[in-house]
Amino acid sequence: MASYAVSHRRKVLVAALLLAVPTLILWWSVRVTDSMPFAFVGLALAAIFFLFVLFVLLHHVIDSDRADTSTIYAAMSAYLLIGATWAFFYALVDVASPGSFDFDSLTEQAALNAPHGDLRLYSYYSLVTLSTLGYGDITPLSPLARSLSALEAVTGQLFIAVLLARLVGLGIAHRRAD
């Protein structure tokens, strides 16, 4: 769906499909083989794919000369994609260095059964971190996990501040032009 969403240019669609198809193949092969190397490469490709889609959306928002619904939806989608992308990075860190996160009682509730961990937990943690809500039920333990968490929190705040300023500025400029 993300490949289709950014398919307004043929080159972008081809690049998105070149990233999406191997990612999907690896994800399915992980389900069949339980291979940790496949899981790691699949997570890395998924993160790269989401970053690609994120940059295409942000390019649309930044290049837009008015704050219409398309621009606003692209900005909202980009914010959520930031959270999804960070979830893959957290999963990569935890696969590369098991025990980088303390999921406390959440692991029992989620019944982890995939070799790459349960992405729902990483997604939840990512969105809580991105919004700086910070419930504290998942704790980053390794230095890399803590650093990435801090970087994501700053990214979330800067995204909202800078993008909101951009959209408000576009709205004001458009009203003055009318």
Task: Give the start-to-end residue ranges of the domains of the chain.
Answer: 2-177
The residues, ordered by sequence, that sit 6+ positions from 42 with a Cβ below 8 Å of its Cβ are 23, 26, 27, 29, 30, 116
Instruction: For residue 111, give the DSSP letter.
Output: T
Cα dihedral 116, 120, 125, 131 sign: positive
| Structure-token pair, residue 92 | 């990569």
Alpha-carbon distance of 37 to 35, in angstroms, equals: 6
Alpha-carbon distance of 125 to 136, in angstroms, equals: 9
Q: In the chain, which residues have pLDDT < 70?
A: 1-7, 107-117, 177-178
Strand pairing partners for 132? none
Alpha-carbon distance of 72 to 87, in angstroms, equals: 23
Alpha-carbon distance of 79 to 131, in angstroms, equals: 10
Start-to-end CA distance of the chain, whole Å, equals 36
Can you list the alpha helix ranges (DSSP code H) found in 64-142? 69-96, 106-110, 119-130
Longest dimension (CA), the chain: 60
Can you list the alpha helix ranges (DSSP code H) found in the chain? 2-5, 10-33, 36-63, 69-96, 106-110, 119-130, 143-177
Please identify, in words, the CATH class of the domain defined by 2-177: mainly alpha
What pLDDT shows up at residue 109? 60
